[in-house]
Structure 1
Amino acid sequence: MRNTSKAATLESKFPLLAVEDHCIISKDADVTVCFKVRLPELFTVASAEYDAIHSAWFKAIKTLPDYTIVHKQDWFIKENYAPDLSAEDQSFLSKSFETHFNERAFLNHYCHLFITQTSKERMKMQSNFSSLCRGILIPRDIRDKEAVIRFMEAVDQFERIINDSGYIHLEKMTADEITGTQHQSGLLEQYLTLSRESGASLQDLQLGAEEMRIGNNRISIHTLSDTDDLPGTVSSHSRYEKLSTDRSDCLLSFASPVGLLLNCNHMYNQYLFIDNSNENLSKFEKSARNMHSLARYSRANQINKEWIEKYLNEAHSFGLQSIRAHFNVMSWSDDPTQLKQLKNDTGSALALMECKPRHNTTDAATLYWAGIPGNAGDFPSEESFYTFIEPALCFFTGETNYQNSPSPFGIKMADRLTGKPIHLDISDLPMKQGIITNRNKFILGPSGSGKSFFTNHMVRQYYEQGAHVLLVDTGNSYQGLCELIKGKTKGEDGVDFTYSEDHPIAFNPFYTDDGVFDIEKRESIKTLILTLWKRDDEPPARSEEVALSNAVSGYIERIKLSNTYPSFNGFYEYVRDDYRKILNEKQVREKDFDIANFLNVLEPYYKGGEYDYLLNSDKQLDLLSKRFIVFEIDAIKDHKILFPIVTIIIMEVFINKMRRLKGIRKLILIEEAWKAIAKEGMAEYIKYLFKTVRKFFGEAIVVTQEVDDIIQSPIVKESIINNSDCKILLDQRKYMNKFDDIQAMLGLTDKEKSQVLSINMNNDPKRLYKEVWIGLGGTHSAVYATEVSNEEYLAYTTEETEKMEVMNLASELDGNVEQAIKRLSLKKIKTNKEN
């Protein structure tokens, strides 16, 4: 029986012939070079940068020869996050984080660029000449081999111009990436199945006027193929109102509504057809004359004549190149009931661009067919409109979603738009790339902005990757995490020192394990004694600094010669007795160094004094091997004498780690305690710490919540901010009126200011998270979401009632904090389900 169906095989209609030298050759002798495109990340591009990107595209396209088609194809595919639970040494909290995001849906973006050399005849073909409408495709010969060589040279130049811009990166696709391998699907297979998954099998294609279907996926196409459908004005970028304020603008590319902001499976095709510009303009000149002669018969002819003349005037006045363009959005779903919603969403996205949404059914099949990579020569010419290169480029999407850092080290944050976990390195890779010159961090966030959650989340991940972490806290922000680590390591780590009168923190500033007093140790001792001796508003004279330095050096020599046990008491006695004699012999005047005053001020720290326990400890703090240490000094934060001294004692512990732990990452995080050590006399100490820690594979982090502290303190700027290449800010909207001062103090650009002021402005109500801005070296910055699992929340929480609930349950479970957190997390999940 004869087969009367209209079905045809894909093989018989397939328009491509081969892939040679990593180029696609069509049966009509078109040659196509394929690129993978890496665009800047969403919400990270400023106005000037959008203009620079637009200019780079323009310069690159101007290098291409006539009868070339530029086809940019952006895929936006809904995918689900697959957690990494395979690591054997993964901690309890890391697993809970990964599990929390299991199956989290997000929109993934893949961008490709196809540059096709075709012929003058092919550029003029309409939809009825598409390879879909022909019975047999007979391959043609490439007659002009020289033209192909010139085309390839132009493409190389195109690639170099785009890559040199620094904003976009093009990478040529290989033959395997185009055609696929046994284990990985290729680009052609992915297009014909509308799937990026490996192993997706080819399915029936129904390419009809009423319905387009690939397997179970039903396709809807909206086109921009007529100037009547376009907005009155276009630009390279537009203001995104949801994240903008009256003081700042959040910018996205003009075509962003049909990019990542359109939350469905879709593909955005952008075509530029580079005809011979002179021929196009000559044709328009002839058309204008015809319209002029027919103008008296129809007002429409008169209007068309005016539009054509305006187009010609623009072209000749500014030397613009006449081209044709076309843009379409192809969306799909395997659920027939969602097709209407898809059409509405796509139409709304085009309307946001001030375009007239046109749902195309007439040429849907030929548009899909022309979208096959390498088959742009099959595009129906009647679906394009005449324009110039500059306005056409405004319809190119300009950004992609957040990308994972290639570095093995880093922290896990979340994409602010979709909530997908992002691996982010804010320490090592930026150092290697020269973006930053130190790993130090300055964190600013008011109370309730999620600051302690972010810092807990960060230091926990640093610790799990082998870092030594020392925290100076004034509010028990790290108690839960510390107790969890202590229980997990059976007391080896998670050491918590809480200052109290019964158990004060004490040390011996003159003690060294190896008896070596290097320059750093000597400077540390001098800074400590200077802090004890002088008030904040009383800087030492040069003669006093010299006398103190000589006293410290003399006592150290005494220790080495006499083999006596070093202590502050010994130093005090040395100054009182031996050093006094030396000064008398040198006839040092009292006004140059008042030794009686010096001894009188330091007497409270000598034996029998009020604070004699502080600097004369006979038990050395054995913290060199402890990897997670918390000093909680809230009890003395308002004590003018104890607070700065205890803080310096803690600094000494870290500096000892810094000097002796070779090749191991070290991190010191100072909460509000920095105020005590950022006084006039301590500025050099802080500056020393922030400058020196870089050389020892370490980083110093300062956290504050009071804006006035940084605005009014020159010490903060000189000692901390200028030596912190990584700045981290949380919600600053309550300081909106003061933000110009903050911007000036931190040296933020207008782009960075806009990013900071957009924090938490458009949060997804279905997710519980706070946003945080991270800036690196003044050149790289973005806003991320700090979203954690229930287990992490219970470990990080600073709410007194929640902390007590965890600790009380842990005490019932023999101190097992991990088990307590697991039980409370399950209870919380159950309660949420019931509600």
Structure 2
Amino acid sequence: MRNVMKASTIESKFPLLAVEGGCIISKDADITAAFRVELPELFTVTGAEYEAMHAAWCKAVKVLPEYSVVLKQDWFIRERYRPEVTNEAEAGASGSVRQEGRRSSQIGGEQASFLSRSYERHFNERPFLNHACFLYLTKTTKERARMQSDFSTLCRGNIIPKEVNPDTARAFLESVDQFERIINDSGLVTLTRLTDEEITGTPDSPGLIEKYFSLSLDDTTVLQDMELKAEGFRVGNKHVCLHTLSDTDDLPGRVSTESRYERLSTDRSDCLLSFAAPVGLLLACDHIYNQWLFLDDSAENLRRFEKSARNMHSLARYSRSNQINKEWIDRYLNEAHSFGLTSIRAHFDVMAWSDDAEELRRIRNDAGSQLAKMECRPRHNTVDAATLYWAAMPGNAGDFPAEESFYTFIEPALCFFTGETNYRSSSSPFGIKMCDRISGKPLHLDISDEPMRRGWITNRNKFVLGPSGSGKSFFMNHLVRQYYEQGTHIVLVDTGNSYQGLCELIHNKTKGGDGIYFTYTEEHPISFNPFYTDDYVFETEKLDSIATLLLTLWKSADEKVSKTELTEIGNAVSGYIGRIRADRSIRPSFDTFYQYLKGEFREELESREIEVRREEFDIRNLLTTLRPYYRGGRYDFLLNSPSEIDLLSKRFIVFEIDAIKDNKELFPIVTIVLMEVFINKMRRLKGIRKMLIIEEAWKALASNNMASYVQYLYKTVRKHFGEVVTVTQEVQDIISSPIVKEAIINNSDCKILLDQRKFMNRFDAIQTLLGLTDKEKAQILSINMSNHPGRKYKEVWIGLGGVQSAVYATEVSKQEYLAYTTEESEKIEVQRRAESLGGDIELAIKQLAEK
């Protein structure tokens, strides 16, 4: 039976012949090399970098031979976030969802999974715009380059394959290699050659050509029917609308390599995007942005324009428009000859689609308005839509209708290239969850290990600066929780109960095995036992810290310690440690040490052959001074904790020092004890990540002993797989101590800043102190400038060694918010609900979150 349907098969019209050696060969003997393009992240590129990127593209395009076609194709596909740690019932996901950089979270314990699952559920099905960029370099012929739309392969009954010229093909592939090298050497854009399998696909996954025919980047692509008409076309149930820039009348009067993004700019800083960004990531719909450059014979083009100008001049007396056109042609020729510019043709189009007619109308308006923001004239193309779609197929650039292009030069044409992509997740398995500031998509961000491997930073230390109310403690709770879940030992010095909720949650879930919270109240004064360890192992650093503690109890800050006193204190500590090791019935504590000092050590001291004079080491004065810390003394609770807790094995420890920060007797002792805890972890826990966090640093760094400890830590902690984090509201708090200023600022390669708009008028001083670049300043001043009104979050800037920096959003689930909150009323509500549930904080948080 004869086929009478007004339809045809793709096979009969298919213009591609083969894919060999990474090249697509068309039936018209066109050769195409295909690349995947990696662009810089959004809001991280400066004006100078946009200029450098533009210059690299110019150099690369100029190495291509005549009658080459450059097609840069940017895909922007709406997708939905797929949770990493959840089950199918919790996910409730349906349809085609995909997530970039899937990785298995290394999370241990029920508590961790509770907050992690709540985070993933919060973002489940969160829509975002996925971006993929491809580049096709095609070598065609003079005849093909001048073809009109009526000679497209769509209009031909059959296609007779032609032969490829070997010499021409060889020369073209050499120029492609040069093109790739020039772009990659720029350091801003990366080209990766696509393999045959990536282009054609495999039995298990579709290739790029198949994905193009379904207008989807999904790995489960299914080919559907297509309807190509003059008034538009359809792929499956996706109706496509096309806006083109194909005439000089459609173009703006002036173009540039970058544009100012007003929503995130201030009068003191500029937030920059590429000139074509409005039709890139800022157009929130499914679309493809095609950027075409056609490299004809430039000299022939100019000769044709010379002839046209003469004709216009001869006809000028009949029409003023001829004279005006002649003047424009002269200006074009003058530019070409004066600056040695290459005459080319160009075309740009935005291909958007939707399966809903009402949404398609909105998308059509959005695409037109975004083009208008570029000062272009939006032209909704319905005549050549199907032909342009067919020509944009990978490897079929030779089918482009010549009448849809306009003459220009390489430099202005490249200004229409998009220059940025959306935020990328880190490839490292370790890291924290942050969010894209545009779409709110969760990102996996490693700010410790991967930057070290890449050479961006030389240490993992962090400096966090943010005024009150900027979300500083909230961000730190979010970071600390995720580090803890991934096996980090964390010691916190807090001054305001910022971590009490998280600590209690950990303590509750581990049945008291972790989440140790030290604080001072009249009913429950703070208490330690620096002499206790589970395994009776006392390394040199621990012995030195105990000796330093005893000297702090004995001597005032302005008293000097002689070498003899230091030696004898060390001898007393070593003798006591040897005594409790030999007799395990002796309970390690300050009380038994004091008894040993008063008894055995004093007797041994007095019976020495070489007498130790009183003015050299006054043991009576020592015993008298230490007496308040012995049983029955004023501070007998401080160093005689009845809880035999070896803090070496505890992974989450909080020292809340707000109540004693002004106590001249207790505060120095507490600071030395907490530093000893961390140094003991640092030395003994081999291959385990450790983190010391000092909140509101000036309070904890008030004493000289503490300052010297911090200076020592910042310089040595990196050698022991550790990091120190200093958190403060004012930079002045750090620079008040010159020693600590140098130690912290110079040894913190990761700097984290929150909303600095309160300091905008004096931010230059902060910029100088922290060594920030103008690019980083502009990023920081854009924080929270244009937050999404429908989401609750605050932004944070993270800079890594002056090499990598970006602004991210800290957005969490309701459960996490209740665990982190520092609002007094909310904390009290959580505590009351937990008390009514028998102390079950997790259940209290769940109920309040649902409420």
For structure 1, which segment, 106-115 or 59-68, has the greater mean C-alpha deviation from structure 2 after superposition? 59-68
1:174: which partner in 2? 195
| 1:526 to 1:150, Cα distance in 2 relative to 1, 3 A | farther
Whether 2:358 is the aligned partner of 1:337: answer yes
The offset of 1:255, in angstroms, is 0.6
The 5 Å alignment of 1:377-416 reads: 377-416=398-437
CA displacement, residues 729-768 of structure 1 (integer Å, 9 cap, x when unaligned) = 1111111112111111111111111111111111111111
For 2:358 and 2:627, how far apart are their aligned partners in 1?
Answer: 85
The 5 Å alignment of 1:724-743 reads: 724-743=748-767
Q: Decide which of 129, 153, 161 is 1:131's aligned counterpart.
A: 153
Contact 2:294–2:345 at 8 Å: present in 1 too?
yes
Contact 1:474–1:673 at 8 Å: present in 2 too?
no
Q: Decide which of 455, 474, 487 is 1:453's aligned counterpart.
A: 474
| Aligned residue-pair number | 820
Q: Give secondary structure in 1 for the equivalent of 2:231.
A: coil
2:254: which partner in 1? 233
Runs of 5+ consecutive residues of structure 1 not aligned to the other structure: 828-835
The 5 Å alignment of 1:617-696 reads: 621-672=645-696, 675-696=699-720
Name the aligned partner's letter for residue 297 of structure 2: N
1:103: which partner in 2? 125
Whether 2:154 is the aligned partner of 1:140: answer no
For 2:618 and 2:327, how far apart are their aligned partners in 1?
Answer: 94
For 1:314 and 1:172, how far apart are their aligned partners in 2?
Answer: 35
The 5 Å alignment of 1:548-563 reads: 549-555=566-572
| 1:357 to 1:477, Cα distance in 2 relative to 1, 3 A | same
Q: Decide which of 817, 836, 841 is 1:812's aligned counterpart.
A: 836
Name the aligned partner's letter for residue 278 of structure 2: P
Contact 2:734–2:740 at 8 Å: present in 1 too?
yes
| 1:487 to 1:526, Cα distance in 2 relative to 1, 3 A | closer
Whether 2:75 is the aligned partner of 1:75: answer yes
| 1:50 to 1:545, Cα distance in 2 relative to 1, 3 A | farther
CA displacement, residues 604-663 of structure 1 (integer Å, 9 cap, x when unaligned) = 667886546545768764112222222222221332332232122111111111111111
Q: Give secondary structure in 2 for the equivalent of 1:658.
A: helix
| 1:391 to 1:534, Cα distance in 2 relative to 1, 3 A | farther
Name the aligned partner's letter for residue 410 of structure 2: I
1:268: which partner in 2? 289
Q: Decide which of 701, 705, 722 is 2:729's aligned counterpart.
A: 705
The offset of 1:717, in angstroms, is 2.4
For 1:216 and 1:545, how far apart are their aligned partners in 2?
Answer: 87
The offset of 1:40, in angstroms, is 0.9
For 1:187 and 1:690, how far apart are their aligned partners in 2?
Answer: 50
| 1:586 to 1:533, Cα distance in 2 relative to 1, 3 A | closer
1:116: which partner in 2? 138
Whether 2:23 is the aligned partner of 1:17: answer no
The offset of 1:105, in angstroms, is 0.8
| 1:630 to 1:662, Cα distance in 2 relative to 1, 3 A | same
Contact 1:477–1:798 at 8 Å: present in 2 too?
yes
TM-score of the superposition, structure 1-length normalised? 0.91
Contact 2:697–2:734 at 8 Å: present in 1 too?
no
For 2:2 and 2:637, how far apart are their aligned partners in 1?
Answer: 105
The 5 Å alignment of 1:5-404 reads: 5-84=5-84, 85=86, 91-142=113-164, 144-404=165-425
For structure 1, which segment, 552-561 or 629-638, has the greater mean C-alpha deviation from structure 2 after superposition? 552-561
CA displacement, residues 313-332 of structure 1 (integer Å, 9 cap, x when unaligned) = 22222222221111100111
1:480: which partner in 2? 501
Q: Give secondary structure in 2 for the equivalent of 1:469.
A: strand
The offset of 1:693, in angstroms, is 1.7
Name the aligned partner's letter for residue 161 of structure 1: I
2:97: which partner in 1? none
Q: Give secondary structure in 1 for the equivalent of 2:361.
A: helix
Q: Give secondary structure in 1 for the equivalent of 2:83.
A: coil
Contact 2:128–2:439 at 8 Å: present in 1 too?
yes
| 1:6 to 1:718, Cα distance in 2 relative to 1, 3 A | same
Name the aligned partner's letter for residue 312 of structure 1: L
Name the aligned partner's letter for residue 420 of structure 1: K
For 1:174 and 1:424, how far apart are their aligned partners in 2?
Answer: 29
For 1:516 and 1:93, how far apart are their aligned partners in 2?
Answer: 36
For 2:676 and 2:128, how far apart are their aligned partners in 1?
Answer: 47
The offset of 1:513, in angstroms, is 7.0
Q: Give secondary structure in 2 for the equivalent of 1:199.
A: coil
For structure 1, which segment, 549-558 or 620-629, has the greater mean C-alpha deviation from structure 2 after superposition? 549-558
For 2:340 and 2:611, how far apart are their aligned partners in 1?
Answer: 89
Q: Give secondary structure in 1 for the equivalent of 2:204.
A: coil
2:101: which partner in 1? none
For 1:63 and 1:577, how far apart are their aligned partners in 2?
Answer: 91
For 1:570 and 1:389, how far apart are their aligned partners in 2?
Answer: 88
The offset of 1:371, in angstroms, is 0.7
| 1:576 to 1:160, Cα distance in 2 relative to 1, 3 A | farther
For 1:653 and 1:822, how far apart are their aligned partners in 2?
Answer: 34
The offset of 1:548, in angstroms, is 5.8
Q: Decide which of 785, 796, 799 is 2:823's aligned counterpart.
A: 799
Q: Give secondary structure in 2 for the equivalent of 1:426.
A: coil
The offset of 1:107, in angstroms, is 0.7
| 1:587 to 1:744, Cα distance in 2 relative to 1, 3 A | farther
1:769: which partner in 2? 793
CA displacement, residues 327-385 of structure 1 (integer Å, 9 cap, x when unaligned) = 10011111111222112111111111111111112211111111111111111111111
For structure 1, which segment, 569-578 or 787-796, has the greater mean C-alpha deviation from structure 2 after superposition? 569-578
| 1:100 to 1:562, Cα distance in 2 relative to 1, 3 A | closer
For 1:430 and 1:586, how far apart are their aligned partners in 2?
Answer: 55
| 1:191 to 1:534, Cα distance in 2 relative to 1, 3 A | farther
The offset of 1:19, in angstroms, is 0.9
Whether 2:806 is the aligned partner of 1:782: answer yes
For 1:341 and 1:246, how far apart are their aligned partners in 2?
Answer: 33
The offset of 1:677, in angstroms, is 2.1
Structural RMSD (CA) = 3.1
Runs of 5+ consecutive residues of structure 2 not aligned to the other structure: 88-103, 583-587
Q: Give secondary structure in 2 for the equivalent of 1:32.
A: strand
For 1:52 and 1:571, how far apart are their aligned partners in 2?
Answer: 73
| 1:615 to 1:92, Cα distance in 2 relative to 1, 3 A | closer
| 1:292 to 1:132, Cα distance in 2 relative to 1, 3 A | same
| 1:223 to 1:532, Cα distance in 2 relative to 1, 3 A | farther
Name the aligned partner's letter for residue 298 of structure 2: S
Q: Give secondary structure in 2 for the equivalent of 1:500.
A: coil
Q: Give secondary structure in 2 for the equivalent of 1:649.
A: helix
| 1:535 to 1:107, Cα distance in 2 relative to 1, 3 A | farther
For 2:315 and 2:451, how far apart are their aligned partners in 1?
Answer: 66
For 1:736 and 1:576, how far apart are their aligned partners in 2?
Answer: 62
TM-score of the superposition, structure 2-length normalised? 0.90
Identity rate of aligned residues, in percent?
A: 67
Name the aligned partner's letter for residue 483 of structure 1: E
For 2:329 and 2:435, how far apart are their aligned partners in 1?
Answer: 51
The offset of 1:28, in angstroms, is 0.6
Whether 2:439 is the aligned partner of 1:418: answer yes
For structure 1, which segment, 705-714 or 247-256, has the greater mean C-alpha deviation from structure 2 after superposition? 705-714
Q: Decide which of 498, 510, 525 is 2:519's aligned counterpart.
A: 498
| 1:556 to 1:481, Cα distance in 2 relative to 1, 3 A | closer
Contact 1:33–1:116 at 8 Å: present in 2 too?
yes
Q: Give secondary structure in 2 for the equivalent of 1:40.
A: coil
CA displacement, residues 13-55 of structure 1 (integer Å, 9 cap, x when unaligned) = 1111111112111111101111111111111111221112112
Contact 2:131–2:422 at 8 Å: present in 1 too?
yes
The offset of 1:118, in angstroms, is 0.8
| 1:178 to 1:499, Cα distance in 2 relative to 1, 3 A | same
Whether 2:781 is the aligned partner of 1:753: answer no
Contact 2:350–2:367 at 8 Å: present in 1 too?
yes
Q: Decide which of 488, 503, 509 is 1:467's aligned counterpart.
A: 488
For 2:837 and 2:504, how far apart are their aligned partners in 1?
Answer: 13
